[in-house]
Structure 1
Amino acid sequence: MADVARLAGVSGQTVSRVANGRLNVDASTRARVQAAMRELGYRPNGAARALRSGEFRSIGVIVFELSTFGTTRTLDAIATAATARGYSVNLMPVLAVSRQAVADAFTRLAEQAVDGVIMMIEAQLLDGVQLPPGLPVVIVHAGAHYDHPVIDTDQTQGARLATEHLLELGHKTVWHVAGPPSSFAADQRRRSWEQTLRDHGCDVPPLLIGDWSPACGYDAGRQLAANPEVTAVFVANDQMALGVLRALHEQGRAVPDDVSVVGFDDMEEAAQFWPPLTTVRQTFTDIGRRSVDTLIAQLGTADGHAPTPVPTTLILRNSTAPPA
């Protein structure tokens, strides 16, 4: 900084104001200082600035399921929102689903100097785990019980929209291919599907359980195709719905003439399925932005708040129709 000040013919304090983006420097002086910075290859020392201000401009993200569609889209949204707010993201994958693994992840993030943590906790086994004190925290995934703000899609609303759409078309009931029991999202979608059927006075068919993959959707679809009573299916995600569609096609059950199918997520490929898939859209951009905004808001106050769930939208395509 002293070298820049000498070359630009200004004080070290003026260089500091320019480096920190202060506005109380006239334009010609600022340009002269910036030219000196470029000539000397000067870069502000982020570590020193963080020690002085107590802000690292870094967010830690703890994640358990890197491979799922929802996780990858949410991570992308968090990174985009953090970058827009001037923060970097420090990703901390947790390979073991255990309370000790969570504690270890928090310890490692604290050592790497982050301002706060976003935890994407999908596994119900970790519900209510005691989080180490000292860092602001935001939880991504509805259903988790923590004394921290929770951000997620309104899973209940989405499953209700899917189920009611099929009932309003005239189907007597709706079958369901659920996600794994360990998943918060799968559990909430299943509960909402079942409650919606009961609210409409419909029978609740036997549940089929998958693992989010197209392969298990295909296995479930073969079982559904063999049952002539099945005319409508709500599948807990689009990837399993792809497997269901293939199985129905192979077994000669036309979609939507014989069986209507609704997915959940609205992944980009859903519009290219055959037939194009009616599905529930999750807005992962909003989840990421709200997670980052909520965490940053906590950095200036000890009081958290309870954000509202991110609403869903039913996207109508060609995979649903009234029963034959």
Structure 2
Amino acid sequence: MSDKDVPQRAATIFDVARLAGVSHQTVSRVLNDLPNVRPTTRDRVEQAIKQLRYTPSPAARALVTKRTRVVGLIVTAGAGYGPSSIALHVNEAARQARYSVLTISMLSPVVADVRQAIESLIRQSVEGIVLVAAEQAVVSATYEMDIGVPMVTVDPTEQATGASVAIDQYAGARLATEHLIGLGHTAVAHLAGPEASPDGAERVRGWRDALAEAGLPARGLVHGDWSARSGFEYASRPEVGTACTAVFASNDSMALGIVHGLTVRGLRVPADVSVVGFDDIPEAAHVGPPLTTVRQDFEALGSLLMARLLAAIESDGAPRPTKVLPTLVVRESTAVPASRKP
């Protein structure tokens, strides 16, 4: 250990942990004179405490010694309908369980930002953390973090660990694509979400697999940014409405943009092009035409996230990943293609 390792600001429990090469939970055990700490480890921690002139706060002691009935929620997925709905229902489920929620929201974070957010929440004595991230790299990185408190993530991918809960995005994409295939569409295009999005990636996978099982090619794949504008721009592509008679959009906002863009081109939905969205936002049932979409049960997801977190707080069990099944809501934006009509 050298003087250059000593931070200029007031030292925290995390500074001590880094300098001693241990987890912050181990530092807490030393501070509270708890057993099961090797003598050599205890010596390193005590040396780091002296070198950093660290004074433990009541919050640091609370990491081990008391229950706070406070959990953390980190949302890196922006202010869209899905992330906002998940956050709302996590908060409601926490309230019903008599827990308070400290929320940190971020736009387009990197792993270091999320790590900093986790440390900030732990300093405030949260008993567990729920992570809703828009980037798979962030989700994957958190699986490698030793943060000392339970953390439950929203991860719909095949790489999900036992500490994850998600709506089955793959199954939802299959529902949407199979509905269009069942109507007789043989060329179903897909406006996907951002490439880094785990939800978007699972919807692409479901779309591809449904087409492959039907012996149909996957064409017209473009990655949007979840916005209606990206849907509007996608609708101007020449293959949409010609080579492709149907489009599965990865969320409702992009689907509504597609409908608008097709209308501007003079194409009719669903007479010329069928469109399916994903989410079932409140506006989906009230546009012209009302949108066929995949409904996500965000209330069930929020309740399940909180239930999984509370179970992890109470025990050290290793649950399996859990997924909530979505449902298809058929409205007036999809129909049999014109070439199949008598």
If the TM-score is normalised by the length of the shorter chain, which range does it land in?
A: 0.7 to 0.9
- 269, 277, 285: which one pairs with 1:255? 269
Q: Which residue number in structure 2 is paired with residue 68 of structure 1? A: 80
Counterparts of residues 154-165 of structure 1 (less than 5 Å): 154-165=168-179
Q: Which residue number in structure 2 is paired with residue 178 of structure 1? A: 192
Identity percentage over the alignment? Answer: 38
Q: Which residue number in structure 2 is paired with residue 216 of structure 1? A: 230
- Count of residues in correspondence between the two structures: 276
Query: In angstroms, what is the RMSD of aligned CA positions?
Result: 1.9
Instruction: Compute the displacement of 1:144 (Å).
Output: 7.5
CA distance in 2, matches of 1:114, 1:93: 16
Please give the per-residue CA displacement for 1:205-227, whole angstroms capped at 9, x wherever unaligned: 13122000000110001215765
Q: Which residue number in structure 2 is paired with residue 37 of structure 1? A: none
Q: Which residue number in structure 2 is paired with residue 105 of structure 1? A: 117
Tell me the TM-score normalized by structure 2.
0.77
1:236 paired with 2:228, answer: no
Question: 1:124 and 1:252, CA in 2 relative to 1: closer, same or farther beyond 3 A?
Answer: same
Instruction: Compute the displacement of 1:66 (Å).
Output: 2.7
Question: 1:264 and 1:303, CA in 2 relative to 1: closer, same or farther beyond 3 A?
Answer: same
- 118, 121, 125: which one pairs with 2:133? 121
Please give the per-residue CA displacement for 1:61-114, whole angstroms capped at 9, x wherever unaligned: 111123221100100010111101111110022456222222211111111111
Question: 1:318 and 1:96, CA in 2 relative to 1: closer, same or farther beyond 3 A?
Answer: closer
Q: Which residue number in structure 2 is paired with residue 80 of structure 1? A: 92
Q: Which residue number in structure 2 is paired with residue 142 of structure 1? A: 156
- Paired letter, 2:265: Q
CA distance in 2, matches of 1:225, 1:252: 15
- Paired letter, 2:294: V
Contact kept in structure 2, 1:97 and 1:125, CA below 8 Å: no
Instruction: Compute the displacement of 1:282 (Å).
Output: 0.3
Please give the per-residue CA displacement for 1:122-150, whole angstroms capped at 9, x wherever unaligned: 20222421323310110013128465511
1:188 paired with 2:188, answer: no
Q: Which residue number in structure 2 is paired with residue 59 of structure 1? A: 71
1:90 paired with 2:94, answer: no
Q: Which residue number in structure 1 is paired with residue 221 of structure 2? A: 207
Higher mean displacement: 67-76 or 129-138 = 129-138
Q: Which residue number in structure 1 is paired with residue 309 of structure 2? A: 295
CA distance in 2, matches of 1:62, 1:216: 27
Instruction: Compute the displacement of 1:299 (Å).
Output: 1.2
Please give the per-residue CA displacement for 1:264-294, whole angstroms capped at 9, x wherever unaligned: 0000110011100000000000110000000
Question: 1:54 and 1:185, CA in 2 relative to 1: closer, same or farther beyond 3 A?
Answer: same
Contact kept in structure 1, 2:152 and 2:308, CA below 8 Å: yes
Instruction: Compute the displacement of 1:52 (Å).
Output: 11
Q: Which residue number in structure 1 is paired with residue 337 of structure 2? A: 323
Question: 1:255 and 1:293, CA in 2 relative to 1: closer, same or farther beyond 3 A?
Answer: same
Instruction: Compute the displacement of 1:172 (Å).
Output: 1.2
1:309 paired with 2:323, answer: yes
Contact kept in structure 2, 1:225 and 1:248, CA below 8 Å: no
- Paired letter, 2:302: G
Tell me the TM-score normalized by structure 1.
0.81
CA distance in 2, matches of 1:232, 1:60: 42
Question: 1:91 and 1:55, CA in 2 relative to 1: closer, same or farther beyond 3 A?
Answer: same
Which stretches in structure 1 are left out of the alignment for 5+ residues?
1-46
